[in-house]
């Protein structure tokens, strides 16, 4: 039984992510980390909890959708920095794999910062990158 860390934000409810998770669901558990987001940099600095409050409904909807598809998944809101969010998850749990789900390259801030490669160096376990087809 593997424990798989899933890092996603806008793509947490994407069909591409669901398809990959469903293909790995037999006997595995998933832990979804959605980095806190929402508001401008100044708004986040003035009220860090605002980003968490903004992200919570998205996390709840994603977990409900994934569980509704029969997946054994739990999750949390992570740091606003996705790499820090992964580091926090790794500090508090053992994972056999990490799945990083991003927007398409033309729209993804995470790909611009090379998040999948950085997570692989940090985690020391296999990392799978899923790029959605959704527009955003």
pLDDT tens by residue, the chain, 136 residues: 899 999 999 999 999 999 999 999 999 999 999 999 875 555 555 666 788 888 898 899 999 999 999 999 999 999 999 999 999 999 999 999 999 999 998 889 999 999 999 999 999 999 999 999 865 4
List the structure tokens of 13.
């409810």
| SS3 state of residue 104 | coil
Which residue, chain included where needed, has tokens 């909807």?
61
List the structure tokens of 3.
């424990």
């Amino acid at each position: 039984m593997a424990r798989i860390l899933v890092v996603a934000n806008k793509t947490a409810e994407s069909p591409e992510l669901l398809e990959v998770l469903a293909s790995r669901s037999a006997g595995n558990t998933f832990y979804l980390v959605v980095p806190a987001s929402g508001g401008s940099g100044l708004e986040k600095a003035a009220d860090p909890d605002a980003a968490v409050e903004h992200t919570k409904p998205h996390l709840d909807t994603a977990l409900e959708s994934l569980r509704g598809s029969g997946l054994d998944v739990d999750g949390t809101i992570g740091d606003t920095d996705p790499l820090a969010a992964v580091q926090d998850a790794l500090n508090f749990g053992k994972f056999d794999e990490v799945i990083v789900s991003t927007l398409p390259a033309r729209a993804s801030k995470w790909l611009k910062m090379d998040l999948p490669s950085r997570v692989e160096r940090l985690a020391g376990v296999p990392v799978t990158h899923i790029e959605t087809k959704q527009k955003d």
